[in-house]
Structure 1
Amino acid sequence: MPALDNHGGDPTPARETLTQRKKRLAREAEIRGRPKSKAQLAAEEKEKREAALANSHIDTQSKGFKMMAALGYKAGNALGAAPRPGGGPDERLLEPIGLATKEGRGGIGADSEKKRKIREAMAEREDELKRRKMYAAMKVSPEDDDNLEQRRSKKKKKTSSRPLGSINVLWRGLVKERAVRERDARMRHDVQTAALSFSLQKPGYDPEEDEDDIVALARKTNKDRDKANAVVEEVALDLDEEDAELDEFQALPVADRLDKLVDYLRQRWHYCFWCKYRYPDDALEGCPGTMEEEHD
């Protein structure tokens, strides 16, 4: 039983015997004599370095500090001119720039280059997400600018029957892309059909066929082919015309174009692209705001 303290009654540890003391000293000596591993040495070195860097870098006993103190500097003050009232936060440093320990094998600037690539990749990913949302907003926008419900109707006019200049510039680019794809597909189909038709109707050598008939058939085939090419060129001419208004709009950042589309839907149709809901009036009661972040 451990001995009891006469004053407080708490148990006190028993006195260490000579045998126990010898064992303890031998164990401690063994631990001290045991060589440390590289990981332990590195951990101790890192701990010492972090403890040293955590202290203030301003040594009040150094000659440099004494010279600055003679010029009016006091410990804890920032160097440089203070910002004007209302000119923004004070970003002056109170401590020298800390040391950044480099543990990798990359050269100087390798980490900065890696961070730059990561930032660029994140910016590209964000830009692509905004671009997808922009195209989604374009598809929501009514192409005939008459009624939002008419866009969902199956009896809407074809895009090719309207001049591109009469379409709202906010979604004119999407309409033009669709028209270009349709034109290219139609041209490929016409070329394949014309080539197949021409190969089937191409006159061959027939001793019973009159020479005049052969010439007439060849002229008719060439005339039909020229007529088809003329129609294709006429369609392509409308799509390939310069559109300064569309070029100026597409030169804007994707985020700005998306904001314009969202604002148009709100003002023209009382439709919130982020809520995915059309409100009964321009008050848009219940909508948290115009920004996507406000709808989280």
Structure 2
Amino acid sequence: MSDEEEDYMSDAFLNKIQDVKPGLPMLKRVKEAMKKEAQQTEKNAKNRQKTYKEQEQESREAALHNSISNENKGFALLQKMGYKAGQGLGKEGAGRVDPIPLNIKTDRGGIGMEEVRKRKAEEELEHYRQKVRTKQQNETKSMEDFRVRVRTEREERKIEGDLRRSQRACEQLDSQKSITVPREDWYWPKSGSDEEEEEDVEEKEKEEEDEVVELTSLDKLQILTSYLRGVHFYCIWCGTTYNDEEDLCSNCPGNTAADHE
């Protein structure tokens, strides 16, 4: 090592270095630096030139916080007409006391646009609610229609079954009384040949222009029930042939299926 180069491990070099102790002095310097930075920021804010909007906002707020003085011409005219500060407007003093508040418009929409948007939003909301109500009503109606349809189909099947039973009973009871021809064709159940003949007759009737009133299964059941009860004293729901009309009326609940439930 040359004489010109310093020995970094020697006492002479170490004594030149400032002794910096950790702890309180370091914290104090940090606080002072932060304080200087805050003061500089505040100074820059004061020296900064305010924008036109900021100046306008400050002027507006200052004017709103200060009451109208007697130098105002409008206020002077009101005083000449008997108005006093703090009194309501109008002859009886029942009008507005506070001035009309300012509503600063910040968007680029035209005057009244906000009301149009509000009304449109309310209309859309009401339309949505009406749509939901209509959907719920349609679902309820569809469910009710389905139940009615199922109930109607079940009742129709029951009527068809009672009619077939009545036709078989009528044929058997008529045969016991040596009746070879039914009073009406549909009083007895149809055989295979009878069904074919009936189909041919129906096709011919369709070709004709005359309107023919066709009995429903319920009409046929009511007519056939009346015939069985009046001629044979028989009730298909009781499954019994009574001795006479008096016996039938006394012991049979009625002439419908509902009476026997």
Question: TM-score, normalising length from structure 2?
Answer: 0.32
Give 1 or 2 for the bigger CA radius of gyration. 2
Question: TM-score, normalising length from structure 1?
Answer: 0.29
Q: Which has the higher contact order (CA 8 A, sep 6+)?
A: 1
